[in-house]
Structure formats: C-alpha cells, structure tokens
Structure 1
Amino acid sequence: MSTKPRILVIGAGPAGLGAAARLLERAGQSIEVTVMHMGHQLGGKAADLRHGDSGGYDHGCHMIAGFYRNMKGLMSRAGIDLGNTLLSMGGAAHVYAPHNRKLHTIEGDGAFYVSSQLQSLPPLSLQERLTFDRVMNEAYVLTLRGQAEIRRLDDKCFSSWCIERGMPPHIAHNLPMLRYFQNVYFNYSGKVSAYHLLQSFRLMSDFGMESATQYVLPAGYTTTIWNPIGDYIRRMGGKFIPYARATNWQYQGQAITGVEIERPDPSVNRFDLAGWSQEDAHLGKGVRTVYTNFDYVISTVPSAVFRSMNQDNKQLWNSKFFNGISRLRSTATVSMTVVTRKPVGVYPGPVFGLPDPLGICVNMKPYWARYRDDPDIGSVLSFVGPERGFEAWSNEEIINSTIDSFSASDEFGCIREAGILDVEIRRNVTDYSMSFACEPGVQKYRPGNKTPFCNLFLAGDWVRNEVDLVCMEGAITSGQEAADMLMRQVNSGGCELPGKLRVC
C-alpha cells in the first residue's frame, strides 16, 4: 500500500490544471495527484465548445493579456511554443460610442496610456477632459502604492469613486474606459468594484510595455493549451478521472473523508461533444458513488457549484466561513459566433462597448488557422457578454438584436448583407458555466485557499489570489497558490484525520 500523500484535484479548468501541474512540479513522484473532472473538454469555462461536424468554438472570445505571466510560464513548461501560439492583435482595441455609433481606436501598451486616449472620446468639453485626466492621474498614483492600498476601495464602485473626486456623474456613469475594463474582465453589467478595476490598471501597467497587449490563439483553447498541459501532467505521473461531477462533501470531524459524485449514463450522453451539464445529465442505475481515495483535496469548482454542495447542512452554511461564501453571486454569460461569406467588421483587435448583451466582438478570421486562408469565409465574428437583464430573451431575439446593433454602425458593415453561413449561440446558465461577479463589497466574502477543513483547499478565479481578477491568469495563480499551501502543510506533518469539526 502506498504511503505517498494522495491529492485529489476537482476540476480540470485553468485552476485545476494549474494546481495539478504545480504539485507535480514541486513534489514529483513523492505524491499521487488525481484530477477529477466532468468529462467535457479540458479547460472548464475556457474550453472549446463543439458544434456538430464543423469543429469547435471557444466559450466566448478569450484573450490572453501580456501580464499573464503564470499562464504563459505553465504553457512554456508544458512544451507549448509561445512564439507560434500567442497571436498578438497588434496592441489595438476599439471602443464603440453609442451616442454617434462610431468606433474609436486606442493603441499602445499600458492601462494608463489606454485611458489617456479614452479621455479624448466625445462628447467631452475641455474642462471635462481636464477633470478626467486629473482623476486618472490620481488613480495611477493610487495603484503605485500597491495592491493592499487599492483593496481598501472594494466597497466602492468605480463610478462613485470618480464622482467623489469631482468627475461629473453623467461622465462617470458612462465612461468608455469603464465599459472597456468592464467588458475585458467582468462580463457583468452591474456596478464594478473600484478595487478590481484599479487592480486591472495596476497589472496592465506594472510589467513593462507588453503588459496590456492582448493575444488570441490559432485554434481552440482546449486543443492548443489545455490538452498539452494535461499531457504534461500525465508525463509527470498525474492521473485523470473523467465524467465525474462532484455534488456533496462527506466529512468526519475536521476532515473531508469522501466526495459524492455522479456519473452519466453513457447510452444517452455524447461524450465526444460538449460533455454533460447540470441540465442534461442522464444518470443511470448505480452511477451515484462516493470517492474516498485521497488524503487532501483541492476543489476548483466554480463558486456557484460550491454553494450548491451540502445545502441541507445548516451547521456548515451558518458558520462564518461558509456563510461568507453563500453571499457571493455569479452571472451567466452569452457567447455567439457568426460566420459570414463576405468580410464584415474587419478591424484588428477587439471591439468593446457594443450594446448589451454581447458587448465584446473579435473578428477571428485573421487568427483561427482553419478560417484564415479560406477564400469562401469573409469573417468569423466572436461575441460575448452578460446575460443579466436578458434572461427572458430567446436565442433568436439575442441573435437578431446583436446582428442589428452591430450592423447599425457604418464602420462595421451589415452582417446579413455579408451572407450568414453559420451562427452558434451558447447560453452559459448552468452553475458550471457561470462567471463570478466582481461586485463592490465582494472581496470580504471571497475565501482564501485554506478552509476550516484541514485537508480541503480552494482554488479558482473566485478565490482570493495575487491577481484577484476574473480571468484565466487569476484562476491559474489561485491553483498554484493552493498547491503551494497544501505542500507546506504536507511538509510540516499534515493534519490529524479525523478531528472535531470546527467550521466557525
């Protein structure tokens, strides 16, 4: 019988893969690492989505920012050639101004260089532009004081922070810059925490001129990044258990002793496509089991999934730690890809600030290898945005509204006149596909990696970490931090199993 510490990582998204790789990189063959995941493509919310026989689309238009140091480091160690994989969009982005339905191009690296260009967007008077510049300078000085200083502003929304410093409300509530960063990181149409927006400023400005550059991939994220990282984990000795969905914890005293899981009935589930979700999982006889082959657990499930576990246990969820997590909210997103016969929206780089619900658009035709040289494809428009406020809309209503809004600007061109070849829409409404909402005041409820259970650790973009943004870099960083904390505990003698439950 093996005496090696057995570590179970739940989830194979960026956080889970980051945690598993970090454990094996640091401890090698002295530990056993198993990754349990639902069985869809590796990558979690950043996975490919299969669409019949036509190939896969990403879950929205994911982008890799220049400051994603931990993500790029993991990719390199997994043998991924960054030079041929990361395709720069040229340092340019575009903000849609609804007042005149025009695009405004911003170029350059660094968040504050970007914001200095955004101040010139009409309609601002000279005095208003000077006020904008002064407030942005104050923001810049504040970020220089470090993450701990700006974290104090978590209870404020960014618009309120600007108004307190003299910016007129009609400008503060309609800042193109606010829309820009809101679209980039939050996929949330409500108020954005001043801390999280200023943290974006800090990260996009601190690490050199390349820090704000946005990159995309020549193919889907699962094929290009997550599968090679999965192979890297296997080469180091890690194992994967697919088609297993964690539903509840079993515990004794202060230790997790089992994970209740569900497995789908293979006769009615198509594993070769998108896997199974909360809504379409068909469970056969005897597919509910309890997994106990572990000593430690790193859970990387999304916050909405974690909140759904052990819901009948009032003692657990009334405790201080778990009650805080219960206050976190998630938001559903919508993603859509439109393929046209003729070119439309031929701008390098992303377009932000489009009318909700799909506020971001990237023409992926120049980047995706399978479309790049196809003369019969004019454009491949990838949209993403929040579903909040549009839950009652049908797919057809969202598709038509997005196409009409996009086509309303003379600078884009008409999608319908370009000839629509294919439309794929994805409503990301299950607990497993929703995104954590960075609302004002949320930071005090976000947990750290350690839980009251001595052998349970948390990771994910909703868990506090060095990056603290809802993005792939935040998830990977959190996974690495959870792995480091777990190994420190293992090396210091571990924890007694079981003990008396103390969840308060």
Structure 2
Amino acid sequence: MESDRQALLGFSRRTVLGGALAAGMSTVFGVSPVHATPVSHPRSRVAILGGGVAGLTAAHELIERGFEVTVYERRALGGKARSMAVPGTGMPGRAPLPGEHGFRFFPGFYRNVTDTMRRIGFPGNLNGVWDNLVDARQVKLSRQGAPDITVPGLRDLATITPDDLRESLAAAAREAADLPASESSYWAGRMLVYLTSSDARRLGQWEETPWTSFIGADTRSPEYRTVLSRLPTRSLVAARADLASTRTIGSISEAFFNLALGNGKDGEADRVLNGPTSETWIDPWVRQLTDLGVRFEVPATATGFDVRGGRIAVVTVADRTGYETPIEADHFICALPVEKARRLWTPEILSLDPGLAAMDNLFVDWMNGIQFYLRHPARLCEGHIAFVDSPWALTGLSQNQFWARSLGDHYGDGEVQDCLSVDISDWETPGMLYDKPAKQCNPEEIAREVWAQIGAHVNDTRVLLPDDDLHSWFIDPGIAWHPGPGLNTDDDPLLINTAGSWQDRPNSQTAIANLFLAGDYVRTNVDLATMEGANESARAAVNSLLDATGSNAERCDIHPLYQAPELEPLRGIDEQRYRDGLPNMFDIG
C-alpha cells in the first residue's frame, strides 16, 4: 500500500532516498537543497543530452523536484569546465598534474552558477562548493616595455552625476592606457551612452552595432584600439571587436562597472577556485547528484531524434564503439553545445520548429588553453593578467598561489611548484616566432610561441620567468592535430556573440512540446558564452519543463544582471527618445 501511495504522488523509491540523502547533506555539509522532499507532479522521466555545466545544472534542479533523470555525455562530465589528468605525470602517492580547457574565472556578477555551488556539499564548507571560491587580489594589464597597469575604482553611484560619471570613466581610461585626453573622454562618453540606454535601444540598436563602431575604434589611435577595443573583446570574452555585439560587450562592461561600485555582487570582482576544477567543484557535484538518484551514461553520444505525433519519442545514442541504442523518456533537454546540437535538427524537427534553423547562423571560434608547469612559483600577478600586446591575445593565471593543496606536495613528480594557465583567444593572427596563426601551428610551435609572447611582456625589464623554470606544458586535448595548414580542428569552440545574433538564438522552450534547450547559446540575461549563461539557460529549461508537466514545484530562481536604479530615470527618458526615433541624449557624436 505504501508503494502504491508513493506512485500516485509521482514518487519513486530512488527520489525518496534522494530526499533523505539531501537532508543528510544539509546536516553534514551545511548545504540546503531547494527541494529535499519531492513535490507532487505526474511522474516523468527526463533524458538530458550533455553533461557540461548546463546539463548538470538541469539534472540538479530536476532531481531535487522529484523527476527521474538520466544524463548522457559523450566524453567527460563537466564539459569545458572540467579539469583533467595530464597523462603520464602521476607518481606513486601523488596525483597527475591537472590540465584544463582554460582557467576558471568567476566574476562577482555571476549569481546563478554560484547559487548552485552553494547547494553542492563539500566536507568542512558551510556554503558547500561556493566556499572553494577565493578572491584574486589583482588584475594586471602587462605591456611590452611599459609598467604594469591597474585601473582605479569609482565613486559611489548614488551621489554621482552624469558629468562626474563621464569624468571618472575618462580618468580610468587614462590610467589604463597612454591615451590622449580627447580619446579617453570620448570613450567615457560612449560608455555613458550605453549605461543610460534603455533596454529597447540596447536590443533594437546596440545589438545590431559592432563594438568597434560603437566606440569609434577605427578612427582612433592604435593604443585606443588595443586597450579599449581589442582587449575587452579578444582577451576577456574571446570575441572579435569588429564582430561582437555592442549589447553584449556593453552589458558585461556595465556588470564590471557595477561591481566596482559594490552593486549586484555575489562576491568580489575576480574569483578563482582553490584547486583543480574537478576536485573542488565538478566531482563533488557529480557525487551528490548520483547520491540523489541521477543516472549518468558516459560515453554516450546523441546521434539522432525520432519524432512521433509532434513529440520526441526516442533519441539514439552511441557508445564508444559506435553501437547505437534507442532511449525513451517523457521529456528531453538538449544541453549540447550549439555546434553539436544543430547537427541533430532533421527536416522533421525543423518542420515542427522552423526557428531552430537560425542556429546555423550562430558563429563559434577557438578559445583554448595551455598550461605551463613551473619549477618555481611564478610571481607575476596576484590574479589574472592580460598580455595586452600579445599577437594571440593571451591572458593567464598563476594558480598555485590560490590552491589549498600545493602542486609541489600533491601532484606530478614533486618538481612542479606552479601552473601558469594561459588562454589563447586569437588563433588567426600570425605569431612572433613562426609568423603563423595558432590554428596552423603544431603543439610544440604553439607552446614555444605562447612562452615567447609571455616572455616579451614579463621579461622586458627584468627576468621574471626564466626559460629554465619551465618543467613541461599541456595543451587542451579538444584540439586535434593534422598535418597540413588549416587542417587542425577544435572540439571545444566558443560561441561568439556577433552583432545581430540575438535573433538567431533560441529560447529554452522549443515548439516541440517535450524538447527543451540548455546551453550558453540559448537566450539568457547574461548574454555571453559563459558558465553563468549555461547555468541560467538550464534553469530556464527546467522552468519550461515544469510548466509543461503541470508540476507545482517551485520554479528555479533566475538572477538577471544588476542595473543601477539611480540611472533608471535616464533610461526612462531614453526609452521615449528611442520610440521617437531620437538618439540617446548623451550620444552627441
């Protein structure tokens, strides 16, 4: 009788046990799941395709609400966010050196993914995995033959006037680069235009405007183009300034600006994890979800959809040998990257949801990392460092200074004392040594080239990174190397928010009743290919699924980017001006 009663309520033994385990984790680890006890809704099986941040987030939200969840992942759980063991580097009693797709970065305006982190138990942490985030104390812009650059903070927005705001922004620009007063003032004026633009103008005008056009980069000095056009796009968000949407770059710039003022904060502006990503975040997450009842199938590659009666009836997945198995579920969440998801849209699927065809217009590009393992600690910066003049738009992080377990004591052969993790954002510009873009180099050439570009920045006045300090290196294994120019491939490209691309990006709810989308290409508030965007999109997909099932479960919280209320009157004026076909009141050319 008890089992019958549970079935009527939509419960299963696994979800009941999951609730007990969740309650236990709240006691042991100090985390409180949103739904430790399942709520009443029709029993539903959900298949999630993809086990990156989006897929794991969707699984987390659904299992807490009593659904039966299976995640199918083709390669490794965690996706681009995971860390991975460097083959052949582990010694008896010591873990292999940790490699990664690229270093992790958690700016303080991330609020969705960090909310999830608070709900992932970690021994000894009151706030779960979130307590593994530590503040980076500096952000540096390294220039060849010039001192490192820091940008000052800004005054409290509650008492600042538009003229004061323009003056403060111009001062920051002058401090950050050797710009003439006229150029720094012009840039500050453009930022003021964006900060006071209404949402309607941002979507209707600035979404269609490339960043270079908005800030007038083409008619200004090389220094202006480098620091205020190329750096915020190539180095920070792996976009091309001539292609990137002003709405995207402007909104992220606004988010950092608000952080400097102490607004919309989940933490400090620049945060990193206190150890390898999988150890401090992904592995504890997977263990918790497994304990709650989530099933994981790895490797399992989605290869096709079977549509019946206007719904997805079956998804075919292949194992590592290529053997295909049909899987059934009541609902499907496609949490694959855009370049993988759009390959699955058959003519039948597109006939049911023609809007999905626009995903073919979305642009992806390379942004992959390399790790340099060092024999001594790298004393370059107490946080992220941008190598401003590097042809390949390099940014880096010396990681061991933030880790609770030192590399020298726990990883590799004992000789490695630090890891300089470097992101390569520009794979198409010729480098210094070989006069070839990174896409045309072999792994050894990339390692030598990146090391030389970094050395040109940090060893220009005194040697901070000697050649004999380099122990070894590791390149993102998502890149496949093939002989011949232009034949290398990247299995982990990044979505680039090109101007006008919002109209081609789907919502989480498709026109197919039981198919939902989660991924950093889906429309989100953060509007950028990030862990935050992946997490937010998964929350939206789960909310859509809850609506579709008629569940009475509490909907997932979705946290938008902060907008300063003090500027709301100016944005209100701009909304009317935009409707009247007039420019922003501060847009004076």
User: TM-score of the superposition, structure 1-length normalised?
Assistant: 0.82
| Greater Cα shift, 126-135 or 475-484 | 126-135
Matched with 2:202 is: 150
TM-superposed deviation, 1:483: 0.2
Equivalenced residue count is: 461
Measured in 2, the distance between the counterparts of 1:115 and 1:229 equals 44
* Gapped regions of structure 1 (runs ≥ 5): 266-282, 494-504
Does the CA-based 8 Å contact 2:171-2:184 persist in structure 1?
A: no
Task: Name the counterpart of 1:399.
Answer: 447
Aligned-pair identity in percent equals 22
> Which residue number corresponds to residue 115 of structure 2?
73
**d(CA) in 1 for partners of 2:389 and 2:312?**
46
Matched, 1:323 2:323: no
User: Could you report, residue by residue, the CA deviation over 1:114-143 in whole angstroms, capped at 9, with x for unpaired residues?
Assistant: 88534323432222222222222223323x
The 1-side partners of 2:153 and 2:500 are apart by 32
Q: CA offset at residue 308 of structure 1?
A: 1.9
CA distance in 2, matches of 1:322, 1:316: 6
Residue type at the aligned position of 1:57: G
- For the residues of structure 2 that align with 1:317 and 1:437, how far apart are their CA atoms? 27
- CA offset at residue 351 of structure 1? 1.1
Alignment of 1:53-68 (within 5 A): 53=90, 54-68=96-110
CA distance in 2, matches of 1:150, 1:87: 33
Match in the other structure for 2:485: none
Computing the radius of gyration from Cα coordinates, the structure with the larger value is 2
1:236 aligns with 2:292: yes
- 1:290 matched to 2:326: yes
C-alpha separation between the residues in 2 aligned to 1:136 and 1:233?
43
- Per-residue displacement from partner, 1:418-466 (whole Å, max 9, x unpaired)? 4211111125346752211111121110111111211100011111012
The aligned counterpart of 1:106 is: 151
Change (3 A) 1:431 1:321: farther
1:20 to partner: Cα distance: 1.4
1:16 maps to 55
Letter aligned with residue 148 of structure 2: L
CA offsets per residue over residues 70-119 of structure 1, 9 Å max, x none?
A: 111111112243564011102x2112335x45431235489998885343
Q: 1:25-58: CA deviations, max 9, x gaps?
A: 3x22xx2121111241x21111112202223222
Distance 2:225 2:382 in 1: 28
Pair 492,72 (structure 1): closer, same or farther in 2 beyond 3 Å:
closer
Q: Quote the residue 1:308 is aligned against.
A: 343
Pick closer, same or farther for the CA change 1:59–1:117 going to 2, 3 Å.
same
Q: Which aligned pairs between 1:76-225 and structure 2 lie closer than 5 A?
A: 76-80=118-122, 81=125, 82=127, 84-90=131-137, 92-97=138-143, 100=145, 102-106=147-151, 108=153, 117-142=172-197, 145-146=198-199, 148-152=200-204, 153-163=206-216, 168=220, 170=222, 173-176=225-228, 178-186=230-238, 191-206=243-258, 208-209=262-263, 210=265, 213-225=269-281
> In 2 relative to 1, CA 223–116 (structure 1 residues): closer, same or farther, beyond 3 Å?
farther
> Runs of 5+ in structure 2 lacking a partner?
1-6, 11-41, 91-95, 158-164, 429-437, 480-488, 553-589
**TM-score using structure 2 length:** 0.71
Relative to structure 1, is the Cα distance of residues 174 and 252 closer, same or farther in structure 2, using a 3 angstrom cutoff? same
Higher fraction of helix: 2
Residue-by-residue CA offset, 1:286-337 (whole Å, 9 max, x unaligned) = x122212x011111100010122256x4883897312201111211222101
CA 1:431–1:344 in 2, change beyond 3 Å: closer, same or farther?
Answer: closer
Distance 2:353 2:493 in 1: 25
Between 1 and 2, higher relative CO (CA 8 Å, sep ≥ 6) is seen in: 1
- Note if 1:34 corresponds to 2:81: no
Q: Distance in 2 between matches of 1:361 and 1:297?
A: 38
The residue type paired with residue 368 of structure 1 is: W
Shift of residue 235, structure 1, vs aligned partner? 3.5
Separation in structure 2 between the aligned mates of residue 35 and residue 71 of structure 1, nearest angstrom: 19
CA RMSD of aligned residues (A): 3.1
